[in-house]
Amino acid sequence: MNVANHQTLGQRPAKQGRDMKYLRAVRSLSCVICDCFGEVQNSATQAHHVIHGRGGMAKTPDRMAIPLCEGHHLGDFDTSKTALHREPDMWKEAYGLDTEWVAATQDRVEGLV
């Protein structure tokens, strides 16, 4: 038996597309929507894994995450904004697809390095 290709007992394989360093960098940025639309960011930045056009429930890779304030992301505490996970159709109408913000985010993260 070739043990080189097997995981150690009790270890789970790394999830595909995980990049904690990239997510930390995304969280250090300001909200892309607040920046672009001149809104005041009232809550902490969260890393949002894009959902538009992904198909299925699988989470997209970390390098496709974008920085959203809590109000534009979940809207649990900052209810002053349109939250993507609460009102996805309204969010898409106002700000476009979340996937349209990935390239700009990657450029901003690259600028941090």
Give me the number of domains the chain comprises. 1
In a domain, 7, yes or no: no
Residue 9 in domain: no
Residue 11 domain-assigned (yes or no): no
User: For the segment 72-84, what is each residue's pLDDT rounded down to a tens digit?
Assistant: 999 999 999 999 9
Beta-strand runs (E) in the chain: 45-49, 65-69
Residue 66 tokens, joined = 């974008």
What pTM was estimated for this model as a whole? 0.81
Residue 86, domain extent: 17-112
Q: Judge whether 30 lies within some domain.
A: yes
In a domain, 84, yes or no: yes
CATH of the domain at 47: 3.30.40.190
3 within domain boundaries: no
pLDDT, tens digit, 9 for 90 and up, residues 86-106: 999 999 999 999 999 999 999
> For residue 83, which amino acid is it?
A
Residue 104 lies in a domain: yes
Q: Is the residue at 1 inside a domain?
A: no
Q: Looking at the DSSP assignment, which residues form a beta bridge with residue 83? A: none
